[in-house]
Structure 1
Amino acid sequence: MAIQAALILLLVIGALLIIGVPISISVGLGSLCAMISIVGFHNGLVASAQRLFTGMNSFTLLAIPFFVLAGVIMNNGGIALRLINCAKVISGRLPGSLAHTNVVANMLFGSISGSAVASAAAVGQTMSPLQAKEGYKREFSAAANIGSAPSGMIIPPSNTLIVYSLASGGTSIAALFIAGYLPGILWGLACMAVIAFMARRQKLPRSERVPLKEAIRVLWQAIPSLLLIVVVIGGIVGGIFTATEASAIAVLYALALSFIYRSIRLSDLPDILLTATRTTVIVIFLIGVSMMMSWVMAYTNIPALLADSLFGFTDNMIVILLIMNIVLLIIGTILDPTPAILIFTPIFWPIAQSYGVDPIHFGIMIVFNLSIGTITPPMGPVLFVGTKVAGLRLENVIKPLVPFFIATTFVLLLVTFIPELSLLVPELLGLFD
């Protein structure tokens, strides 16, 4: 019966995805059919409803809608423009400085909003016209924006790291957040290295020198926005409040700041709430149906079978981690990070744990993998948003995006095989139990 349920699960999900049914519906219906085949029609309906509710009934998950709402408020509240101006000062007069500014702005905005898609949209809408005016090729500008946007999924606060904490059995969110800093910064630096190389080949212009007085003014204006990171992360690390409470504080802070900037009005709030609700519903429903699928996979013993297959193939930790990376990179091209984390963490984590891999290091590795998937065809959401913002077709962006794939994959290997990149900062701050 277990084999039959596993086949039904895979066949139903595969068939629905092929005909274009959304991932969440496909996973939910596939899991429901498999559960019915295991425990019967009535019990299957009851069990699926229970698993769906249990998957979404988590205090930790409340952080996700609040962080999403904070990101939407910042996207509409003039904060993105101030961060872009700050990024211009930071990137200085490097060759291809506007493209470097794009990367730094994505890192700053992504680290505050926690959304790669929002970052690609907000920063891309501002930077694309500026780069076109300076003579940058639109394809290259779009690639720089798309390639650097997912750094915000790793630099905290990160919704994907919250989901991983849930899937891994309660890994410390504070430690995961702090662990994301070095890998996220390395992602941005890798993109800047690609831009520096391409800038010399294409002889891209430098920005004009920003006068010291103007630079100080711009940085001063950006400080209130950047303080959000200090308040949220500092409060979590200092034990002042939980990640969920921090997310609510982030909403209040972003809302107050936007009203101070006079960039949003009370009449804008219904649209902001509606946008945040749409995004939140998708994410939370994905988590619920993924929990249904996890129950089926546990019953059918799929994780153990895959683990035995890996152990039968090799007992070398380096090879096993490479296989995991390859699988996750492939899965990331077709699955959203949220269901991918919920499905594959229970499969891969016990194997990694048996080799002594730290759960924080493993969490950064799996999220880094799936972040690359967001810019990879055929399903990459950041890729589609970035091309739409730039007004280009998908095929026009793939070639200039290849160097960014190579650079970020190289950083992924560093993150995978040098655990200190993820563990050093949390260890220094005493976040290990």
Structure 2
Amino acid sequence: MTITAGIVLFGVFFALLFFGAPIALAIILSSVVTFLLILPFDVTILTAAQRMATGIDDFTMLAIPLFVLAGIIMNNGGIAFRLVNFAKVLVGRLPGSLAHTNVVGNMLFGSISGSSVASAAAMGRIMTPMQTNHGYERTYSAAVNIASAPTGLIIPPSSIIIIYSLASGGTSIAALFMAGYIPGLLWGIAVMTVAYFGAKKAGYPVSEIPSWRDRLYIVAQALPSLFLIIVVIGGIVAGVFTATEGAAVAVIYAVVLSMIYKSLKIKDFPAIFKETIEITGMILFLITASALFSLVMSYTGLPEALSNALLSVTESYIGLILIMLLILIVIGTFMDITPAVLIFTPIFLPISQELGIDPIHFGMTICFALCIGNMTPPVGSALFVGASVADVKIEQVIKPLLPYFGAVILVLLLVALIPQISLFLPNLLGL
């Protein structure tokens, strides 16, 4: 029955995706069809409805729409430009300094907005014209922007990390947030390293260095935005408030800061709320569908069967990790990260526990691996947005992206095989 259920569940799921069905619908229909093999029709429908309703019946889930709202407010509130200027101060002396500014800008803005798409769009619109005016190839600029945009999904606050916490059965969000800093920074450094050698080879210039007075002014302009990270993450880690309360604080802080900057008006809020509702509805619908999918897998014993199958292939710790990483990278190329985390966490978490991998370390590994799909076809959202804002074709930017892809894969291997990269900060803070 387990083998039959697995064939039906994944067979129907991938068949529906192949024919262009929305992923949430594919998840629900494949789950219902599989349940019908085991339960009567009326019991199946009742069970599915109850599971989908209870799938989002969690207080922590409120953090997702609030963080989404905070990110959209910041994206419209003039914060990106100030962070770009701050990034220039940090990396302005490096060859190809505007490319490095793009990377640091994505790391800063992405960590605040929690969205690779928002990051790629905001940084691309600001940095691409500047780089073009200084003689940078558009494909080079687009590749740097695309490759660094997903860092915001790793560096907290991140809704993907919250979703993993829910899918894994309640892994500490505070610990996961702290675990994301070093892997996210390593991703950014890897992209900057490749960009550095590309800039040296092409002879791209170093930016003009502002005076100390201008530097102090730029830092002062950026500090209020950066302080948001300290307030939200610091409050969550210190136990002052929960992740949900921290998200509410982020919304209030973003509104106040945008009003102070005079870059956000009352008339802008209906459009902001509409965008928040659309994104939140999509995420929550995926979560409800994936909750049903997880129930089917649990009921039929699929995670245990898949775990035993992988463990029978090899007993090597490194071998099993490499197999999981390969599967996750492939999955990430054609599935959005939210449903991928929800579907594959229950499958691979038991295997990681068999290997003695800490759930926090595993969380960083699975999120990192799936985030790579943001910069690869056919469904890489950062790839499409980054290419669009740079006004280049997808096929033109694939070749320049390959060295960045290789560098990020190398960092993924380090994150997966060296637990302390993820666990150092949580252990240091006793989380």
- For the criterion TM > 0.5, the same-fold answer is yes
SS class of match (2:20):
coil
CA distance in 2, matches of 1:30, 1:67: 31
SS class of match (1:315):
coil
* Matched letter for residue 339 of structure 2: P
Does the 8 Å CA contact 1:2/1:299 hold for their aligned counterparts? no
Cα deviation 1:373-426 (Å, max 9, x = unaligned):
111111111111111111121111100000110011100111111111111111
Does the 8 Å CA contact 1:36/1:45 hold for their aligned counterparts? no
Equivalent residue for 1:339? 339
Structure 1 residue 35, shift from structure 2 partner: 2.2
* Matched letter for residue 152 of structure 2: G
Equivalent residue for 2:390? 390
Does the 8 Å CA contact 1:82/1:222 hold for their aligned counterparts? yes
* Matched letter for residue 175 of structure 2: A
Equivalent residue for 2:151? 151
Structure 1 residue 355, shift from structure 2 partner: 1.8
Does the 8 Å CA contact 2:107/2:155 hold for their aligned counterparts? yes
Equivalent residue for 1:371? 371
Q: Within 5 A, what are the aligned runs for 1:260-299?
A: 260-299=260-299
Equivalent residue for 1:322? 322
Matched, 1:19 2:19: yes
CA distance in 2, matches of 1:159, 1:223: 23
CA distance in 2, matches of 1:310, 1:121: 40
Cα deviation 1:229-259 (Å, max 9, x = unaligned):
0000000011000001000110010011111
Equivalent residue for 1:76? 76
Does the 8 Å CA contact 2:304/2:350 hold for their aligned counterparts? no
Q: Within 5 A, what are the aligned runs for 1:6-405?
A: 6-405=6-405
Does the 8 Å CA contact 1:161/1:177 hold for their aligned counterparts? yes
* Matched letter for residue 353 of structure 1: Q
Cα deviation 1:198-227 (Å, max 9, x = unaligned):
011111111111111111100100000000
Cα deviation 1:14-59 (Å, max 9, x = unaligned):
2221121221121122212222332122221111111111111111
How many residue pairs get matched? 431
Structure 1 residue 5, shift from structure 2 partner: 3.6
CA distance in 2, matches of 1:51, 1:381: 29
SS class of match (1:21):
coil
Does the 8 Å CA contact 1:163/1:338 hold for their aligned counterparts? yes
CA distance in 2, matches of 1:13, 1:319: 28
Structure 1 residue 11, shift from structure 2 partner: 2.7
SS class of match (2:119):
helix
Please, which moves more after superposition, 223-232 or 305-314?
305-314
Does the 8 Å CA contact 2:92/2:98 hold for their aligned counterparts? no
CA distance in 2, matches of 1:160, 1:213: 39
CA RMSD of aligned residues (A): 1.1
Structure 1 residue 145, shift from structure 2 partner: 0.3
* Matched letter for residue 153 of structure 1: L
CA distance in 1, matches of 2:305, 2:5: 14
* Matched letter for residue 239 of structure 2: G
Structure 1 residue 3, shift from structure 2 partner: 4.1
Please, which moves more after superposition, 343-352 or 323-332?
343-352
Structure 1 residue 4, shift from structure 2 partner: 4.0
* Matched letter for residue 148 of structure 1: S
CA distance in 1, matches of 2:13, 2:359: 29
Does the 8 Å CA contact 2:91/2:101 hold for their aligned counterparts? yes
CA distance in 2, matches of 1:391, 1:42: 52
Cα deviation 1:96-130 (Å, max 9, x = unaligned):
00000000000000111111111111111111111
SS class of match (2:37):
helix
Cα deviation 1:320-356 (Å, max 9, x = unaligned):
1111111100111111111111111111111111221
Name stretches of at least 5 consecutive residues in structure 2 with no aligned partner: none
The share of aligned pairs that are identical, in percent, is 56
CA distance in 1, matches of 2:212, 2:20: 54
* Matched letter for residue 369 of structure 1: A
Does the 8 Å CA contact 1:76/1:263 hold for their aligned counterparts? yes
SS class of match (1:56):
coil
Structure 1 residue 93, shift from structure 2 partner: 1.9
SS class of match (1:374):
helix
